[in-house]
Chains A and B, each alone.
Chain A
Amino acid sequence: MQSVVAERAERLSKHRAIAAIVMGTVLAATQTQRMDASGAGPITWIVTGVVVAIFLLWASGLFRNTVLRGILNDEGSDVSRRRSLMIGFWNMLATAVVCYILTYVKDYGPRDAIQIIMSVGICSALISFGVAERISARQ
């Protein structure tokens, strides 16, 4: 029984890592595409927010049993999660600085700047989490 749970946790953890990388990449691609158009509207942001929220809830193992959730969110995953949050945070700060500098050479509104800053932060956090988890799983 216990080994079945462990195998399931291993499989889910692998799926979660791949899903984080795919999601981060798709999000980055769609956000970049929208920058060429008229920017993301409120509906787009709501849809993006809901998709990210559903992913985070699924990834946290909230709908799984306690043992499985415990293994999915063990110390190793916690380290990857904290590291990716830190990467996302620093990338957001760096992007904000770049956006500030860009205002001297290009005319764009705060909405565009917020979109760029948030996209970079969220995407880099998701991708770095997935990559860290994949690397950790390698023997």
Chain B
Amino acid sequence: MTERLLNGLRAERERLNLTQADLAQRVGVSRKTINTIENLVFSPSALLALKIARDLDKRVEDLFWISNED
């Protein structure tokens, strides 16, 4: 069984009418980092996940969750 960290970052960002660049600027990272998180290329650190959640006014567990795959 493989565990993957999924996220609803793109949906939440689009709901707030933010671009990747806007969000990146607000949390102090590059646009490509936000892009890679949204595309599940890499999992952010706990620090960055908390910063993103705080910036989007969401709980971190509402933005990021674990998916179990067989």
Contacts and interface: CB of A to CB of B under 8 A. Distances in A.
Contacts of A137: 31-32, 35
Most buried by A among B32, B44, B45: B32
Contact of B29 (A75, A135, A138): A75
A72 B20 contact: no
Contacts of A79: 36, 42
B14 to A, nearest CB: 13
A76 B30 contact: yes
Contacts of B42: 75-76, 79
Interface residues of B, number: 17
B35 A136 contact: yes
A2 B35 CA distance: 19
A75 B31 contact: no
A2 B27 CA distance: 11
Interface residues of A, number: 21
B45 A76 contact: no
A101 B39 CA distance: 42
Given A74-B30, A79-B42, A138 B35 contact: yes
A75 B32 contact: no
A3 B24 CA distance: 10
A139 B20 contact: yes
B35 A6 contact: no
B32 A13 contact: yes
Contact of B25 (A6, A70, A135, A136): A6
Given A6-B21, A136-B41, A139-B20, A76 B33 contact: yes
Interface of A: 2-3, 6, 9-10, 13, 67, 70-72, 74-77, 79, 133, 135-139
Interface of B: 20-21, 24-25, 28-33, 35-36, 41-42, 44-45, 48
